[in-house]
Amino acid sequence: MSDVFLGDLPLWSDPNARTVLEELCVKHDVPMDVLEELVGIQRERSGEERAHNVYPRIEEVLSECGQPNRWSSGQFF
């Protein structure tokens, strides 16, 4: 799990936005913790000119969620 703080982002800090986000995660069968981990990865790498090893880290997170073929098939991207 990423240790990156997400509480300053509107989707996490605004209760109404958070509710919509959670509903969308349920609707599209995306675990909230996976989304949080992916956003955390993006934030960790956002200041880097080249996001070194970002794709392997994303693949690792998606594989850990238990359905790697579904995620990597492009269904969500």
**DSSP for residue 20:** H
What is d(CA 2, CA 41) in angstroms, rounded to the nearest whole number?
7
Q: Is residue 1 part of a domain?
A: no
Q: Is residue 77 part of a domain?
A: no
pTM score, two decimals?
A: 0.69
- 61 lies in which domain range? 10-72
Q: How many domains does the chain have?
A: 1
Given a contact cutoff of 8 angstroms between Cβ atoms, the answer to whether 58 and 34 are in contact is no
45-75 pLDDT tens trace: 777 666 667 778 888 888 887 655 555 555 5
